[in-house]
Each structure stands twice: as C-alpha cells, then as structure tokens.
Amino acid sequence: MTSSSLRLRAGLVSIVLLAAFLGIWHLATRSTGATTTMSPEYAKLMGLTATQGKSAMPGPVDVGAKLWEHVRRPFYDNGPNDKGLGIQLGYSIARVGTGYLLAVLVAIPLGFLIGMSPLLSKALDPFIQVLKPISPLAWMPLALYTIKDSSISAIFVIFICSIWPMLLNTVFGVASVRKEWINVARTLEVGTVRRAFTVILPAAAPTILTGMRISIGIAWLVIVAAEMLVGGTGIGYFVWNEWNNLSITNVIIAILLIGVVGMLLDQILARFTRMVTFPE
Amino acid sequence: MSTFDNPFDPDRNLRARCVCGQHQSAAEHERATALACEPVESEEKRYEGVVASAVMRAMFPQDVARRAFLKSVGASTALAALSQFFPLQTATEVFAQAGAPEKKDLKVGFIPITCATPIIMAAPMGFYSKHGLNVEVVKTAGWAVIRDKTINKEYDAAHMLAPMPLAISLGLGANAIPFAVPAIENINGQGITLAMKHKDKRDPKDWKGMKFAIPFDYSMHNYLLRYYLAEHGIDPDTDVQLRSVPPPEMVANLRADNIDGFLAPDNICQRAIYDGVGFMHILSKEIWDGHPCCSFAASREFITTAPNSFAALTRAIVDATAYASKAENRKQIAEAIAPANYINAPVTVLEQVLTGTYADGLGGVKTDAKRVDFDPFPWQSFAVWMLTQMKRWGQIKGDVDYKAVAEQVYLATDTKKLMTEMGLSPPATAYKSFAVMGKTFDPAKPEDYVASFKIKKAS
C-alpha cells in the first residue's frame, strides 16, 4: 500500500464525515412549521422563531450564505463598533503577536539563566509553580486596575499566559542538555557565552520551540476570551457583539475562523520546530 | 417637555412645578399627560422657542403678568412686539454656538440597550457635531468594564446605571472617585420578563425559590425588583436568588432554563418575547412611573479640566433627549440606532420598545406610549431614593449623609444653570416627591423611609 493511496482514502473519509455532519446539522435545524396560531398584527411584532417555528439554531445554508457575505467584504469599516472580519482578525493577531513576542523576549533569556544555574532553578521553582496554573483571565481585573488601559491589559494577559510554557520548556531544555557535550566544550576551553550559543542553544532549541508552540496555542485561546471581556475590537469582541444580537450564525462563523487562524499559527510554529530538530 | 413648547401660550406656566414643568401641580400634570406636546418642525424653530421662552421669562418675572399680557394682546402681537426690541434671531444663533470646547475628540462608552438611546443616537443623528464635538461612541461589554474604562480615562464620559455614579463616588465596589451626573438618560423602559413556563404564575407570592437575573448590583433594576418582591412578602435575599447577569446573556439563560425571569433593560425584555422564550409580566413603570434608569456620567476631573467640552456634551445629550422624548421621532430613532455599529438588534424590537406598541409574549398587542420616556433632569430626590435602597439592602453600612451625597453627584444645580444659559426652563427645585407602588417617598426624611420597610437586610 503506497502512502498516496492512504492519503487519498483518508481524504475521502474526511469528506464523507463532513457531508454527514452537514446533513445531520441541516436536518436537526429544519423549521417545524407554525407552532401556534396568532393574529397577524401580533405575528408582525414577533421573530421567526416564534411565528414559523424556525429553529433558534441556524442551519448550514444560513451559515454558508452569511460566511460568503463576510468573505466578500472582509475589510469594511462602519465606525468604531462595526468592522469587517478581516479587520477584527487583524486586531486579534496583532495583540497576540505583541504579547507573545514580549513573552519570548522575557521567557527565553530568563529560562536560559535559570536552566544553567541549579541554584536559581530551585529558588524560583515555587514561584513559577504557583503562577503557572493561574487562569490568565484572572489577571484581567488586576491588569485593568493597575495598567489603566484596556488594550495594554489585553496584551499583558497574552504575555502572562504565554510566558510559562516557554519558560518551563526553556529551563527544561537547557538543563537537560547532555553532560558529555558540555564537558567536551569545557575541555576545548569554550567560553560561557560561546558555549551557550553554540552548544546549549542548538541542543535545547527543539524543546524551546515546543514550548513556543504550546504558548501560541494558549495565547490564541485566551485572546478571544480577553476581547470578549474588554470589548472594542478583535474577533472576541465580534463574537460578543453578535451574541448580544443573539446572532448564532455569526457566532458560528467566528468560531470557524478562530479555528482556522489557530491552526495556521500552530502550523507556522510546527514548521520552525522541524527546522531546528536534529537526529541524535 | 416643558422647554420645547410655545412660550407665547398664555395658559402655560414657565415656572415649573410638576415633573415636566408644564403644569401648575403634579395633579394637573397627571390629567394633561394624555395630551401630546406640539411637535416642533425644525431645530431652529425649537431653539427659537427656547430662547423666546427665556426672554419672556426675563421680561415678565411674574407669571401672572405674562399671562395677562398675552391674553390681552394675543400671542402673535406679543411675538411681533417682542421681536422689535429684542433680536430673537441673533439670540437664537448665539445660543446654538456656545463656548469653544477644550477637547473636541471625545470618547463616550455605552452599553447596547435602549436606555442609552440619547447617547447613541446623538452620533448618527448629528447632535454631537451640532454642538461642535467629534464624539466616538464605543460599545462596551459590561457595567464593571464601563466603570473601569471611565475611571481609567479611556472614556471621557459614559452611559452608566443611575446608581453607579453614587456607588463609585461612595467607593462601593470600587475606589472612591468623585463622579457626577449631569443628565438622566431615560425614565421607565424596563420590565419584568418571565419564562413561558410561568405564564400561569403571575402572583409574586408564588415566586419563592425562583431565580432572577438583574444587570448589576448597583442598578435601578436590582432595587426595583427587590422592592417589588418585598412588597409582595418575598424576601429577595432569602426566598429567591438574584443573579447579576450581563444583559445579552439573559435571553440565552432564560432559553436554557437557568433563570426563571429577569428585571432587565429593554430591548432585552422585548428580545426575549421576540424570540418566543418569555413574556412581559409587568413594565417597570407599573412599579414606579417615571423612575430613572440610566444616567450620563463623567468624572469630576473631566468636568474641571474641560468644562466647555463637558457643557457641550451635556447640551448635546439634553438636546438628543428632548428629541427622543417626542413620540413622532421614535421610529426614526429606532432605525438610526439598530445597526451593528450601535445597539445591533432587529429594528422591529427597538420600534416596539420605543413606540410602546408591543407584543406581550402571550398573544396580545399592548400599547403604552410611556413604556420608555426621556427626561434629562437629574432630580436629587432620585439619588436620595437610590441611597435609601442601598442602605436598605446593606450595600451602604453605617450612616450616610443622603442630601450631601445626592447633591455632590447629581448635578441638578449645574444642570439648572446650564439649562438656564441655554434658555431652557429647568424645574424650580431639585427635589420632588414621588410614589413607588403607591407608597409616597419624602426625600426630606430618608432615614424614616428606610426604617418603614418590614423586609430589609438587617445591618
């Protein structure tokens, strides 16, 4: 059996699964016809759910039509509270990017230091263990209160949630570089700085990248929640705004897009990981 | 609305003594409320009326004299005579362009509910730009966020629940920061909505064990629901559960059967009906007709650092509120505020709220033109009442100087001054008595009022 035929069959199964899912979705959300009789004057004031028994959940056709509408004009701007999906995603990605890069700048050097010093590693461990499991959103009120700026607070929340996996993985990667390599470097009288960059960094890189990949996933998860909380702009705000209007169709579209963007971010990091992986 | 009627009407009193300022007494006002005010054709016309009203008041400090004068010569003669030695036209123009604002680009936060109508509509309908401001109205996720963003100065001013500026100034649920209310947004316009399954349980005495949602702890909704329940012998702290739920989540929660009902701002009530998940038990005006709900608030700091901007902003809001108070403008307003950039709700829902002809969720169509109304004057007695309820339900511990707090936060004096400058006729006093579920509230005796309730939180 060749790998191309396996891929083909896997693709077929994927398509069948998708079709089955859409079919069931469509059947489950069909309208049930008029539920109760009501005067036309009254019916005019009521929504379709009440008058025609239309399911509160949109069907795949509704979602598809709405999605097409969004895809056709992704960058419209109708004022501060209504912008196209492209702009909203741009805001979210910019926030995640900023918070994440700051976290990289802090976590990797810090992780290096901690990883190279067993003393620091032990001393800081209790703090890291306590801070790591805190839900990033729990920081939000504190951030809003102290930073006094909601967009910086959102970036701070991304920063704080993406720092821990990177920090821990860097510490672990640096600390578990094989002793023989370091000893060889030492025998060759390589200086500390050079040793860090030419021996430890390449050896620890796969572990560090894995940490970064976990972090970007978490950061993307958190931005949606953070934006729902703070509002203003971003895909999370879009979800909240459409929820406000009980527009489940738009919420489903947003969910879909959040998934796609999350996958893309993950794939980018996965590619970087492959670039630095080495066979032992 | 008092300020916007014809000052040349001999039967009209320019010195207000009732809610709307148009009648001699509250009783006369009640009788006359059925009569709609004269529609105003245009902005200039309204300003002209406003300015003329001020001129007439200046010329005839005694109202009796003015009436006698008008009755004897007739309104048109009086207007002609007045125009001869007083340039009404110029005065009107001067009023329209007041002192230059220190800061032109302002941000005002709002929560997407119909209570914020004047704040929101002022943007698409051009009330801010008319008063020389470039205002961005920013939709905000919840009351706590709007509070924090206003305190952090991301917003210059904001839409807040009427009790919030009192709570912030007192330091309840936040650091004490002096806030002020130059204008009330809306009166009435809320409702108790129950899940469809309770349509035979209309007596509040049967509501023991039910779960209700309110938008925020420091809200009129909380106080009105507690008041309503307590009047029916239900202790809101022990017999039922009250949950603070952001308005958009209320309909979803009602549908999911997580709550039995809510006292919520409109369009949320009407939205629950529109989607067939709930029905209107009562409108909030049946608890207290004319109750305030939301307010337009700013920090003292903004007022002192940018007094002209603040004055222009208040003028724009008062102007928009006056426009919204006219029934014939309501349909147009519903269309202006419905898009995703503003409230983001179906136009039908907003129209039902604003015009007062609505589906009740039980198959009937009801009409109540005063379902929601707009009146900007920040009565200090409103503030005193809210403070008594904060005290009653244990939000304020210890003694409170009701009058001092009310006067510090509710800027009736400043609003009065501004309105007079604008040529409007504000009410003569900032305190008025009113009745909540038939029980009269005397703003001069808040402590006795608190003590008079049987059901309250023991402090």
Q: Give the nearest partner residue to B141 out of A42, A80, A230, using CB atoms.
A: A230
What is the rounded distance in angstroms from the CA atom of residue B289 to the CA atom of residue B312? 30
Whether B139 has its CB under 8 Å from any CB of chain A: the answer is yes
Task: Give pLDDT, residue B226.
Answer: 94
Q: Do A228 and B141 touch (CB under 8 A)?
A: yes
Q: What is the percentage of chain A residues whose pLDDT exceeds 90?
A: 32
Residues of A in contact with B273 (CB under 8 A): 46
CA distance B149 to chain A (A): 7
8 Å CB contact between B266 and B190:
yes
For the cut 70, the answer to whether the pLDDT of residue A32 exceeds it is no
B261-265 sheet: strands from edge to edge:
B241-244, B211-214, B261-265, B190-195, B278-283
Q: Is A83 exposed, middle or buried (0-12, 13-18, 19+ CB in 10 A)?
A: buried
Task: Give pLDDT, residue B32.
Answer: 46
What DSSP designation does A147 have?
H
Task: Give pLDDT, residue B82.
Answer: 59
Query: How many Cβ pairs within 8 Å bridge chains A and B?
Result: 103
DSSP SS3 for B373: strand
Give the residue extent of every domain in chain A. 85-276
Domain A85-276 CATH assignment equals 1.10.3720.10: yes
Task: Give pLDDT, residue B157.
Answer: 93
CA distance B344 to chain A (A): 6
Task: Give pLDDT, residue A269.
Answer: 92
What is the rounded distance in angstroms from the CA atom of residue B222 to the CA atom of residue B218? 7
Q: Do B344 and A240 touch (CB under 8 A)?
A: no
Q: Do B145 and A231 touch (CB under 8 A)?
A: yes
Task: Give pLDDT, residue B17.
Answer: 47
Nearest CA in chain B to A237: B141
Q: Do B148 and A144 touch (CB under 8 A)?
A: yes
- Residues whose CB is less than 8 angstroms from the CB of residue B179 and which lie 6 or more positions away in sequence, other chains included: B164, B165, B168, B169, B297, B298, B299, B300, B409
Task: Write the pLDDT tens digit of every residue in A232-279.
Answer: 788 988 888 888 788 888 899 999 999 999 999 999 999 998 988 887
Q: Give the nearest partner residue to B139 out of A38, A229, A231, using CB atoms.
A: A231
CA distance A138 to chain B (A): 14
- Confidence bin at A10 (pLDDT 50/70/90): very high
Whether B39 has its CB under 8 Å from any CB of chain A: the answer is no
Whether B359 has its CB under 8 Å from any CB of chain A: the answer is yes
Task: Give pLDDT, residue B87.
Answer: 53
CA distance A13 to chain B (A): 35
Structure tokens belonging to residue A25: 């979705």
The ipTM of this complex is 0.73
For the cut 60, the answer to whether the pLDDT of residue A227 exceeds it is yes
Whether B128 has its CB under 8 Å from any CB of chain A: the answer is no
For the cut 50, the answer to whether the pLDDT of residue A129 exceeds it is yes
Q: Which of A244, A247, A251 to mutate to test the interface with B (most CBs of B within 10 A)?
A: A244
What stretches of B9-163 show up as alpha helix (H) in DSSP? 26-32, 43-59, 63-73, 75-85, 88-96, 117-121, 127-130, 143-151
| Structural domains present in chain B | 2-96 (no CATH), 105-187+292-349+372-431 (3.40.190.10), 190-285+355-366 (3.40.190.10)
What is the rounded distance in angstroms from the CA atom of residue B3 to the CA atom of residue B15? 10
Task: Give pLDDT, residue A62.
Answer: 85
For the cut 80, the answer to whether the pLDDT of residue A106 exceeds it is yes
Q: Which of B121, B154, B280, B350 to mutate to test the interface with A (most CBs of A within 10 A)?
A: B154
Q: Do A80 and B339 touch (CB under 8 A)?
A: no
Q: Do A39 and B363 touch (CB under 8 A)?
A: yes
What is the rounded distance in angstroms from the CA atom of residue B175 to the CA atom of residue B188? 30
Task: Give pLDDT, residue B38.
Answer: 40
Residues of B in contact with A78 (CB under 8 A): 339-341
Q: Which amino acid is at B96?
A: A
CA distance B145 to chain A (A): 7
Task: Give pLDDT, residue A110.
Answer: 92
Whether B138 has its CB under 8 Å from any CB of chain A: the answer is yes
Q: Do B252 and A246 touch (CB under 8 A)?
A: yes
Compute the mean pLDDT over every residue in chain A, rounded to the nearest whole number. 86
Kindly state the average pLDDT of the residues A31-50.
73
DSSP symbols for A46-57: S-HHHHH---SS
CA distance B175 to chain A (A): 10
8 Å CB contact between B370 and B289:
yes
Q: Do B152 and A50 touch (CB under 8 A)?
A: no
* Residues in chain B, pLDDT under 50: 1-3, 15-21, 30-41, 91, 93-95
DSSP symbols for B31-56: HHTTSPPPPP--HHHHHHHHHHHHHH
